[in-house]
Every structure is written in structure tokens, then in C-alpha cells.
Amino acid sequence: MANFTAADVKKLRDMTGAGMMDCKKALTEADGDFDKAVEALRIKGAKSVDKRAGRTAGQGTVVLRQQGEGKATLIELNCETDFVAKNSQFIELADQVADFVAAQASDDLATVAAAEIEPGKSLQGYIEEKSAIIGEKLEFRRFAKFDGAFVSAYLHKSDPDLPPTMGVLIELDKVDEEVGKDLAQQIAAMAPQYVSKDEVPAEVVENERRIAEQTTREEGKPEQAIPKIVEGRLNGYFKDVTLLGQPFVKENKKSVQQIVDAAGVTVKRFARFKVGQA
């Protein structure tokens, strides 16, 4: 019988993120030798990379790197289960990815994924190597890099036992820590899609207008009233999806537009990452 205990199996599981039965089998085959067991799990995982490709990586974390008051990077790294999301190896990998991405000049995902994190090894290849060890599909999903006069950030944990699962960056045209913090939390809570209605693509506006008109007609509203009702519904849409149009969470009788006007700041852009969502 192999010389290991249940505690050894748990230790290997915590170390690698592999399943309990896989860890037990690896230790059995390695006669209790941890290094050999880790190597066996790595080889097994590498053979399964293609099989994992079609699986959904809907868990994971977001990691923030702030490089001064006007520069920040936010990355999202995904895995398949919350068990792996809180695994120390996964968290360490996410930190490595964030450090690497923050140091890159490019803001293109494919370019950064193809860049060498080690001699002869791309970031994508490095993540796949870790995927082989952990035994789950890992995906470097996206990142945002802001560089401006002032960038505020916010991270949110959906579960105290898990790493952050939501992150926000917001860029202002000048330093205002209070407004930056408030708006970052507003974005996290209210999930706007655009800064202002000027940013909403024309085709999106036309589609919303068409839906509003069709809905109004099906409700049997008088023909002469339809244009006004449609515009009202379209303005309601802008109020929902634009940051500046939303009611300010901390003082909902005011809009975010009124808050930034009073502070004398301009919102340049924002990014909101929530693990598993578009």
C-alpha cells in the first residue's frame, strides 16, 4: 500500500487544484512521492487540454494593478469552478498575469497573450501549462489599461471566501478621489453600458426606437401621441444604460450628470468586468 494519508491527498489537492480522486490516484502511482504525483497530474492535465477547450470557464477573478493616480490595469482570468477560483495556485497565476499585462505596452488581447512571459513561452502557453496542472480550463478573458489624468478603481467580492469577482476602472479628466470612488461604485452597482447617450451606437438607438414604437402601437395608443411616448421611452432607455443619465446611487434625486457638473469633472471612460458576464 502506498505510503500517504488522507491529509496528504488534501495537501496535493490544495497544491494543484486537481480533483480528490485524481490526487489519490497520483499519490498511489507515485508511492506517496509528492513531486512525482505533481508531475503525473501535470502530464495527465496536458493530455486533457484539448478536451477542456469546449468547456465553460465561468468562474474566476479580476485583478487590479494601479501604477500611480493616473494609470491602472484590470484583468479577468477565468476557471471552471469556484473551488479553483480560491485555490492558491490560481490566485498566484492571476497575480502573475496582472503584473505581466500591466508591464506591456500593447492594449490588444491577442498581442499580449502572444508576448513572452518566459524565454520561448507566451503568456497563453504559460496559462495552458498551469491549466494542465490544475486540471481545469483556464482563460485569460480580457483586460483594460487606462492612462490619464486620474483613474479610480473598485474591486468587489461576491463571496468573502472567493477572490474579487468584479472590478471597475473609471478615468476622469482631473483628480477627484471622492467622485472617482463614488462613480466606480455606481458603475459596479448599476452596470451602465456607456458614459453618455452620445456614445450609444446609432444602430442601437434605432433598434430601441423601433421597439418602443411597436410596443406603443400594440398598446393601442392614439396615433398623434405615439412620437412623444416613443421619445419618452427612449429617454428612459438612456437613463438606464448611460452612466451620466442614471440616478446617483448615494443621492437618487440627482443624476450622475449633475454630480459631475457640480464637481467640475468630466468622465472620459470606464470599464466594468464581472466574472462570467459580457
Domains annotated on the chain, with CATH: 6-47 (1.10.8.10), 59-190+264-274 (3.30.479.20), 197-255 (1.10.286.20)
DSSP 193-231: SBSSGGGS-HHHHHHHHHHHHHHHHHTT--GGGHHHHHH
Euclidean distance between CA atoms 62 and 253, whole angstroms = 32
**Whole-angstrom Cα Rg for the chain:** 24
Average pLDDT over residues 83-112: 95
Stated as kind and residue range, the H or E segment containing 125 is: helix 123-134
In this structure, what C-alpha cell is assigned to residue 84? 479553483
Cell 468630466, residue located: 266
**Tally of CB atoms within 10 A around 278:** 4
Q: What is the pLDDT of residues 164-186, one digit of tens each?
A: 999 999 999 999 999 999 999 99
In this structure, what C-alpha cell is assigned to residue 148? 490619464
Q: What single letter denotes the amino acid at residue 252?
A: N
Q: What is the pLDDT of residues 143-157, one digit of tens each?
A: 999 999 999 999 999
Q: How confident is the model at residue 45 (pLDDT cuts 50, 70, 90)?
A: low
Euclidean distance between CA atoms 244 and 73, whole angstroms = 23
Predicted model pTM? 0.78
Average pLDDT over residues 218-230: 86
Sorted by sequence, the CB contacts under 8 Å of residue 112 that are 6+ apart come out as: 100, 101, 104, 106, 123, 143
Cell 499580449, residue located: 112
pLDDT at 50 over 60: no
pLDDT at 112 over 80: yes
Q: How confident is the model at residue 49 (pLDDT cuts 50, 70, 90)?
A: very low
pLDDT at 53 over 60: no
Q: What is the pLDDT of residues 1-15, one digit of tens each?
A: 467 888 888 878 776
- Is the CB of residue 126 less than 8 Å from the CB of residue 118? yes
